[in-house]
Amino acid sequence: MVMDFSIVSVKTSLLDNAIIVTFSKDIDPDSVSPDNIYVMNHDSRASVPFDIEVDEDFVKITSKLGFEPNTDYTILIQPGICDLVGTELSDPLMRQVHFGGDITNTVKVVEPIDFEIVHEIALKWEEYDKKGKLIPSKDVKDAFEVQIAHENAFYNVVCSTTTVAGDMNVSLKEPIEEGQYYFRVRARQGEQFGRWSNVGTFIFKKQEEKPVPEPTPAPSQEEEPAKEEPQPERTDSGITIIDFAANKGVLEKPSFPLTTEVGDTNFQFVFDEPVDISDMKIQIRRSDV
């Protein structure tokens, strides 16, 4: 008996954000495309954009927007899908599927406010019960899933993270490029999810790094030129005489006889060149004599 190529089951997974369609035989991946599969919200009739993954005998349809819990969807599969030997699915399928969820609380994003320019990504939100009453942060038991994307349809999610239970904010350290971003949050309990929050948006700009000022050098203290020691003048005889005993330094105009202060009794004569003193006579005479 030859088995017909047909659809065996259609299941939903909120955790995987997917509708999984199982066939009776392995599928030709090239025969599956958005041209023969259609998904829409059952109540609003809004079309749902999705990605397709084919693996042997099943097709996984993942929503780009995220399937909402406690919501019905309609899936339409048209002829055109074939098995590996070319047998085509003969009958179309239209089925209503349901994504369940026990979490009825809703979430509202609070910070950043829309279009706020931020230099650090710090997100904050609030949780409300099914009656719309704000749940105090100390009473929050849920964990939360956070998504950040380049567009409000969340086709390209650049960051996705889950907080620990009770946390109502998150700071992201992952480096991202400057630009406008959108974010949303939903409550999570294990494999159960609540509805996505309203979508917030912010503009991220990197903090400009202020140049570190170079230390101001201390005012340069110009070194005073070394004072030249007065050079002793030479006498006509080529002899330089310095009065050390009187502690007066070099005599500006040395001459004979040498005049000193009262009380001085010792004299020292220094010559600026070798001198033969064997035949030299120096006479010292008091000026008052």
The rounded average pLDDT for each run of 10 residues, N- to C-terminus, in the chain (289 residues) is: 80 88 92 92 91 92 88 91 89 88 88 93 92 91 92 86 90 85 91 88 85 71 61 49 45 47 58 65 58
pLDDT score of 273? 66
pLDDT score of 58? 92
Q: How far is CA 176 from CA 7, 121, 133, 208, in A?
A: 43, 10, 35, 15
pLDDT score of 254? 46
Shared domain check, 200 and 125: yes
Cβ burial, residue 144 (10 Å; 0-12/13-18/19+) = buried
Going by C-alpha positions, the residue among 210, 215, 134 that lies closest to residue 168 is 134
Shared domain check, 194 and 112: yes
Residue 223 in any domain: the answer is no
pLDDT score of 253? 43
- 275: containing domain: 232-289
* Domain stops at, among 99, 122, 142: 99
Shared domain check, 196 and 129: yes
pLDDT score of 281? 63
pLDDT score of 185? 95
Task: Identify whether the C-beta of residue 147 lies closer than 8 Å to the C-beta of residue 160.
Answer: yes
CATH of the domain at 42: 2.60.40.1220
Q: How far apart are CA 123 and CA 194, in angstroms?
A: 18
CATH of the domain at 187: 2.60.40.10
